[in-house]
Amino acid sequence: MIRAHPLVAEHPEALELAFQRMGLPTPAREYLLEKLPQYQLLLTGLTKVEGRFLKGLFEASAAPGREEFPGYVSGDLRTRPGSGLLTGRREQFERLIAAARADPRLAELAGALSRGLGSVAAPAPLTLGGTTFIFGARTHVMGVVNVTPDSFSDGGRYPSAEAAIAHGLRLAEAGADVLDVGGESTRPGSQPVSAEEELARVLPVLEGLRARTPVPLSVDTTKAAVAREVLKAGVVLINDISGFHFDAELPRVVAEAGAACCLMHIQGIPQSMQQAPHYEDILDEVLTFLEEGVARAVAAGIARESILVDPGIGFGKTLGHNLFLLRRLRDLRVLGLPVLVGTSRKGFLGALTGGKPASERLAATLGSVATVAALGGADFVRVHDVAEARDALAVTEAIRGATDGGALYGRSRVVL
């Protein structure tokens, strides 16, 4: 499969600030914003057909003054599926896409380029119940409400429905944008429970939360039988750690309810996923897995704008895999969908902080939350400690949006 990964997609505001500092008049700024190369796309999965097309196209337009298409550097088709690097302006990419669309053999290339260019923009808004989430301005917070006796972090802390409801309400008051209720532990080595047991745990909690808070409710489950009942109880999002790979009926159940879904990547199953995780190309394999889940969702009738994706930190990954995925979260933007990330209290944070137990990983969690927000790779973070995460995000996002550089920059503002 051909993919176009955006490597550099500098926000025009950054260049605008530079132009203000230079004292350039508005017409000059607009001209430069149109003419300076702002996009770099890494192409992977090229065959010889696409390779020959790209090489010939750029050789033909290499004469001075003929800058019709982006610059192109090719990889080696002899050793692995072809790759290449494109650098140029938006209008150059648009001409390239039009040229590729003119040849039926290049339809996959044209589609990949369109998605890569489109991934520079924020995903489409997502509506959950009566709440519409707009992406690009801030990172939203999903609060975790576990009603399990054996979750890795807080298993058994909320043994009754009343305790779990009270905890969920505290998270809502602390600023959770969504509450994610889970009735089955998926920690490494965990054993599955029956749908009946899972429903017995979550339904009373969902009923209590729905009656007392307007915050949208999500349920963390892999089972169609569970999803069917919780969606009747007012849940608007199904959060599936299997990415629609375990239960073939689950996509249809979500579609029939008109609900949203979050599809996570996992290698293996919870019982054994951490025994020997291995990847040849983790980004490619995670993207392929997620694309398969998205295709199943769309085929079942779920609206594409109702789908989120999650790279599955800690689910069949080593410490190095987790860190690499967090560093390269923006690569998931090629899917054009909102990205949810869950790092809260996870084992890799303990490994990085001298073996601290889950109960002592708050500072490390906040470090990871601030990092993914600063890198611009996450639209939602799934956390146990909502108030603290909101504080960390407020600082990160204020720094990212700050423009008060002094009088030379014109009118200053802080984006909140």
346 belongs to the catalytic site: yes
Integer Cα distance of 71 and 314 in angstroms: 38
Burial of residue 396, with CB atoms counted within 10 A of its CB: 0-12 exposed, 13-18 middle, 19 or more buried? buried
Q: Which residues contact 262 (CB under 8 A, 6 or more apart)?
A: 218, 237, 238, 239, 240, 307, 308, 309, 310, 340
Query: 3-state DSSP: the chain helix, strand, coil percent, rounded to 5?
Result: 45, 15, 40
Q: How far is CA 259 from CA 184, 224, 251, in A?
A: 21, 13, 10
Contact 218, 142 (CB under 8 A): yes
Q: Cα torsion for 280, 286, 288, 289, to the nearest 10°?
A: 120
Q: Which tokens sit at 134?
A: 């707009």
Which strands, in side-by-side order, build the sheet including 237-240? Answer: 307-310, 260-264, 237-240, 217-220, 178-182, 140-146, 380-383, 340-341
Angle at 180 between CA 255 and CA 337, to 5 degrees: 55
Burial classification of residue 73, based on how many CB atoms lie within 10 Å of its CB (0-12 exposed, 13-18 middle, 19 or more buried): exposed
Strand order across the 3-9 sheet: 3-9, 39-46, 82-88, 71-74
Q: Quick check: is 356 catalytic?
A: no
Q: Please state the separation of Cα 238 from the chain's center in Å.
A: 16
Query: Which are the contacts of 161, defined by CB distance < 8 A and separation ≥ 6?
Result: 147, 204, 205, 208
| Under 8 Å between Cβ of 310 and 186 | no
Contact 87, 104 (CB under 8 A): no
The single residue of 346, 361, 400, 413 carrying the catalytic annotation is: 346
- Longest CA–CA span in the chain (Å) reads 74
Name the residue among 295, 389, 388, 333 with its Cα closest to residue 135.
Answer: 333
Pairing of strands 126-128, 140-146: unpaired
Of 138, 296, 361, 382, the active-site residue reads 382
Active site residues: 346, 382
